[in-house]
Amino acid sequence: MPVMEIPIPHIPLGCGGCDNLGNEVMQCPERKPWDYVAPYYGSPEFDQGFYSIPVHRASVAVKEKMFYGLITVIKGPVGARDIEAKLQGLAGPECTWRFFARSITDSQFLVRFPTEKLLSDVSYFPSVTMRSIANALMKVEKWRDDIQPKAKLQVAWFRVGGIPSSFRTKEIAFFVGNLVGKVKGVDRSSLFNEAYVSVQIACKHVSLIPATREGEIEEGIYEFTYTRELPGEPARVNTEIQVSESNC
């Protein structure tokens, strides 16, 4: 008697790019994960180079307001379960919130609180004792996720020389300027200057911009020069070509 074969239905998987069922990542119209490569600006000399990550404000989701506390163990062998039990006791028997302590380091934990008032009340004290563990102390602080940058880019105008007149366009000026930093704008009137093009460049340290850089244009190697414009020189009036971040 022949064995009846029962076909197994094919369950479509979600696409790794857009999460839509039935899509395949190679044919997906969404950008591929490997397309998100941060451009590198500047010069490796004197640690002047940096990666620039574009931000599309429309795609940044507004996070739900949550109240997190940073728990730091000051003294004693305090674990996650001990912290959860202590916070549950401080919240009171009427509180139905389930505290969960997530370890960040050996002595620090992140805990979400149900209300801002409870977090403020607990973090008011410089330290909290642990009755279940002798001589144990912990500290509760409000967790701040608004991480600040370690430094800010410096912006200055530079006179960029060495660009042939036949290639002296704003696009070429952008490329040449990006060899030493991130171009913010180009003086439109300077494109007709035979000696140099004025380019506004953002970099880590304006005083460490290299004097020259080499670059290739249509198989020709050119040496470009960069001279910083000092304060007090003639100002520009509505002649800048600004770089749009959306086009980066």
Express each pLDDT in 221-233 by its tens digit: 999 999 999 876 6
pLDDT band at 44 (very low <50, low <70, confident <90, very high): confident
31 vs 97, more confident: 97
pLDDT reported for residue 26: 61
Domain range annotation of the chain: 67-142, 154-243
Architecture of domain 67-142: 2-Layer Sandwich (3.30)
pLDDT reported for residue 45: 77
Taking only the tens place, the pLDDT of each residue in 65-81 is 678 999 999 988 889 99
pLDDT band at 19 (very low <50, low <70, confident <90, very high): low
- Strands (E) located in the chain: 40-41, 50-51, 67-75, 101-103, 108-113, 128-130, 136-142, 154-161, 182-187, 197-203, 212-217, 220-228, 240-242
pLDDT reported for residue 248: 44
